[in-house]
Amino acid sequence: MFRQISILAPGLLGGSVAQAARARGLAKQIVIWARRPEVRLALRGQPWCDATADSPAAAVRDADLIVLAPPVDRIAPLTAEIADHVAPGALVTDVGSVKAEISRLGHAALSGRAHFVGSHPMAGSAHTGWENASPDLFAHRVCFVTPRPDTDPAAAERVARFWRELGSEVVTVAPDAHDEIVAHISHLPQVLATTLCTFLAARQPGWRNFAGGGLRDTTRIAASDPAMWRAILEQNRDEILRALRAFQDELQGFSAALANRDYLELTARLERGKTFREQFRPLP
């Protein structure tokens, strides 16, 4: 139970943190800062928002848990902005999709005063914005918690416990390891979905009218927010490039096997892919 959870710049994820924390009784007081005054006004009417603040500094002053929820490229600047205003010993976390730089700068900005522990809940929706928030968004979802070697272990454990109490399955990894993992399992799939769409759009856009379930599924995430993904590409450029180049080699292997009519090799690849996919954990 926190005395005050402050949530800064809530969108879908920040709003859902507020709703889930209220639903599970994890905070006496929930305070929210949003950049736009009309959003603050709208939030004041919500049962999961006890007060709004007019500035990040005012929002964080009395909080023992601070959740930073702006776009990924705004997290480090926001951490710097609140650094002189957080209560001593407060926990600060975020919900950004990339962790190494944010964790390094967050730790440096708060060092000696409060604890920065990065988080990345693997939850999202095509419907963004706090209006689409849900108290169950994190239930049964993986949430990465990414302490650095110099992070206070007790602080990391308290952040992990918070996400568990919101229903998430917490995976604790170092920030660099996190960024390598998501480059492969999240950012590379986005690049492929986007590229399949730009490819087909250039080739013959009308073919989309013939799309079956396979193309629909494979390209669904191409409809994600370009600004959000631009920021992710920028923040995780090196890991994504590495994953992308290795994937290109794997794809060239498929292409070469097909060019060589090596149907044994192609069948082996189809079977390995099927086996891998079938071992995904079923969704609850």
Mark 240-276 as b/e (b = at least 16 C-beta within 10 Å).
beebbeeeeeeeeeeeebeeeeeeeeeeebeeeeeee
Strands 142-146 and 118-121: antiparallel
Of 56 and 167, which CB lies nearer to its own copies in the complex structure?
167
| Contacts of 122 by beta carbon, 8 Å cutoff, 6+ apart | 141, 142, 143, 144, 186
- C-alpha distance from residue 49 to each of 22, 61, 79, 247 (Å): 9, 16, 22, 45
CB of 136 to its own copies, least distance (A): 14
In the complex with its own copies, the residue whose CB is nearer, 6 or 168, is 168
Distances (CA, A) of 256 to 184, 260, 267: 23, 6, 14
Q: Which is nearer to its own copies, 1 or 211 (CB)?
A: 211
Rounded to a whole number of angstroms, the minimum distance from the CB of residue 120 to its own copies is 10
Least distance in angstroms from the C-beta of 163 to its own copies: 14
Distances (CA, A) of 204 to 59, 191, 198, 269, 272: 51, 20, 10, 29, 32
Say if CB 120 and CB 178 are below 8 A apart: yes
Residue 151 Cβ vs its own copies, minimum distance, rounded to whole Å: 21
Q: Using the minimum distance from each CB to its own copies, give the nearer residue, 108 or 244.
A: 244
d(Cα 22, Cα 17) in Å, to the nearest integer?
Answer: 8
**Residue nearer to its own copies on the CB measure, 28 or 230:** 230
CB of 181 to its own copies, least distance (A): 6
Nearer Cβ to its own copies, position 48 or 138? 138
Q: How far is the CB of 226 from its own copies (least distance, A)?
A: 4
